[in-house]
């Protein structure tokens, strides 16, 4: 490997081919130098019970040479690529975890000898999009801390990570991600501008201006200060979210600096998860387009839930807290993103009649489903929070539980009236008759039909907890 190539590019595997990625084509979806971790105080969580991949070749040979008996605990991992085995660990931790919580491979043979998964960790969620590499932290295992104001950590320095990537390359096969916008270059330019804006946003005493700058950058395609109307728009959106949820957190919780720093630091990671998802296990790998407004509004909704976490008693909201709240509440955040919008069912989806919950909830669901028919909304143009609140339960807790269930039933099926007007939909007899029945059949009959239990009771699973799962 020439010295020039090592400095300027990263060698990796894409399928069976070897590819060189230029270092300037790496996108780190987290702020530069503002995440830190401490393996001693963590107790080496990632070295306990999670295993790691061992790549055939230099990595496998080095491990077998140094620790021949470890071959007994390696299992086939061909589902993760044809060139890998998985080292299965046993409680209480990895074979190479010393009493002092240091890695014996690292201690005896140096950093470069560590298994690749461990060397990259926690920045080991790596995906390819065209000629670009997108790097995210592991979603859950590592207790990442946002650096205190005015300080930096070399552990998450983009330059340091790039140097390490370029020096060692990536032996594992790097899977592809599927961007949710057609113009990938423009998409990446927006995301890079948002990461650049995180440095200043870490000092804010409210999250909303950062969400407004995301809205502005997404619309303008350039890093500028937030347009005043973007901030005003999100202030209004906040009020409507409060109506939908039945309450808003207090100003003290919305202004908690620790929570805001964690939110800002997690923002590029969450945006990357939304905008560059992995291919689904089954079905069409091309995900639906997503607009930048929706992403910024989901994050604004997330700031509300995070403030509620603080208000509920959580003294220190961390980067991990933010990611967990995001994964656990994704359908609700999708709904909150549209709280102030006039929305209707997408033309290209089937409207589920089945709705989990007691009879009054089924009836309300039918009323709301009817009110959100495109033909009905074309005349009324009612904002979503009005449509839902017109059918609200009197008890605020019961109502919140209903809103959550409705969010799961409607996830990915609603669209704004403006987008539905510009969308061409395919003719379908089934969807036409479904909508006709929903509009004209008696509500009692429809509510009876909504009685099959469990149709949309699924929980929102958190992302993988395995060290090398990402």
Contacts with ligand SF4, residue ranges (CB under 6 A): 37-39, 42, 44-47, 52, 94, 96-97, 103, 105, 114-115, 118, 121-122, 141-143
Residue 40 or 459: which CB sits closer to ligand SF4? 40
**Least distance from ligand SF4 to the Cβ atom of residue 49, Å:** 10
**Least distance from ligand SF4 to the Cβ atom of residue 140, Å:** 10
Residue 52 or 406: which CB sits closer to ligand SF4? 52
**Least distance from ligand SF4 to the Cβ atom of residue 283, Å:** 33
**Least distance from ligand SF4 to the Cβ atom of residue 314, Å:** 20
**Least distance from ligand SF4 to the Cβ atom of residue 93, Å:** 7
Residue 112 or 280: which CB sits closer to ligand SF4? 112
Retrieve residue 169's tokens. 């390359």
Residue 99 or 315: which CB sits closer to ligand SF4? 99
CA nearest to 466, candidates 120, 146, 117, 155? 117
* Residue pair 35/133 in contact by the 8 Å Cβ criterion: no
> If you ran DSSP here, which 8-state letter would residue 135 be given?
E
Report the C-alpha gap between 264 and 253 in whole angstroms. Answer: 15
Residue 1 or 56: which CB sits closer to ligand SF4? 56
Residue 107 or 457: which CB sits closer to ligand SF4? 107
Report the C-alpha gap between 268 and 187 in whole angstroms. Answer: 12
Distances (CA, A) of 286 to 48, 132, 225, 362, 424: 36, 18, 33, 33, 18
Say whether 271 sits in a helix, a strand or coil: helix
User: How would DSSP label each residue in 101-133?
Assistant: S-BHHHHHH-GGGS-HHHHHTTS-EEEEETTEE
Residue 39 or 373: which CB sits closer to ligand SF4? 39
**Least distance from ligand SF4 to the Cβ atom of residue 260, Å:** 23
Please list the residues that pair with 52 across neighbouring strands. 87
Residue 343: φ, ψ to 5°: -125, 165
Distances (CA, A) of 368 to 77, 137, 163, 165, 372: 48, 39, 54, 52, 6
**Least distance from ligand SF4 to the Cβ atom of residue 438, Å:** 49
Residue 74: φ, ψ to 5°: -100, 135
């Amino acid at each position: 490997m020439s010295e020039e190539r090592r400095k300027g590019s990263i060698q990796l595997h894409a399928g069976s081919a070897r590819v060189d990625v230029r270092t300037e084509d790496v996108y780190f979806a987290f702020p530069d130098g503002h995440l830190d971790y401490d393996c001693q105080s963590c107790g080496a969580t990632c070295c306990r019970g999670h295993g790691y991949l061992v790549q055939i070749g230099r990595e496998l040979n080095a491990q077998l040479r140094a620790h021949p008996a470890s071959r007994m605990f390696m299992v086939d991992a061909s589902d993760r690529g044809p060139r890998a085995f998985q080292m299965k660990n046993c409680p209480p931790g990895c074979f190479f975890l010393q009493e002092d919580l240091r890695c014996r491979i690292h201690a005896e043979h140096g950093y470069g000898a560590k298994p690749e998964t461990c060397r990259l960790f926690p920045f080991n969620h790596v995906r390819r999009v065209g000629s670009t590499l997108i790097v995210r932290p592991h979603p859950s295992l590592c207790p990442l801390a946002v650096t205190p104001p005015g300080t930096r950590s070399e552990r998450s320095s983009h330059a340091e990570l790039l140097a390490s990537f370029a020096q060692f390359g990536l032996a594992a096969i790097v899977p592809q991600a599927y961007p949710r916008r057609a113009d990938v270059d423009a998409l990446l330019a927006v995301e890079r501008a948002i990461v650049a804006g995180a440095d200043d946003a870490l000092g804010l005493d409210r999250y909303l201006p950062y969400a407004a700058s995301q809205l502005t950058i997404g619309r303008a395609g350039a890093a500028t200060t937030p347009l005043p109307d973007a901030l005003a728009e999100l202030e209004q959106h906040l009020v409507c979210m409060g109506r939908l949820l039945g309450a808003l957190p207090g100003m003290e919780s919305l202004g908690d600096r620790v929570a805001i720093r964690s939110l800002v630091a997690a923002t590029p990671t969450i945006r990357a998860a939304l905008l560059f998802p992995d291919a689904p296990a089954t079905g069409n790998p091309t995900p639906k387009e997503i607009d930048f407004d929706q992403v910024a509004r989901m994050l604004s909704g997330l700031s509300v839930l995070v403030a509620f976490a603080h208000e509920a008693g959580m003294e220190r909201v961390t980067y991990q807290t933010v990611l967990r709240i995001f994964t656990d509440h994704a359908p609700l955040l999708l709904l909150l993103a549209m709280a102030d919008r006039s929305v209707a069912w997408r033309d290209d989806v089937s409207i589920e009649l089945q709705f989990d919950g007691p009879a009054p909830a089924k009836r309300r669901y039918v009323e709301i489903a009817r009110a959100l028919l495109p033909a009905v909304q074309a005349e009324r143009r009612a904002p979503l929070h009005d449509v839902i609140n017109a059918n609200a339960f009197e008890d605020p807790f019961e109502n919140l539980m209903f809103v959550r269930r409705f969010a799961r039933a409607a996830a990915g099926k609603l669209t704004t009236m403006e987008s539905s007007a510009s969308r061409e939909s395919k003719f379908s007899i089934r969807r036409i008759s479904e909508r006709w029945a929903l509009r004209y059949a008696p509500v009692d009959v429809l509510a009876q039909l909504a009685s099959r239990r469990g149709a949309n009771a699924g929980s929102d699973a958190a992302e993988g907890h395995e060290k090398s799962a990402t």
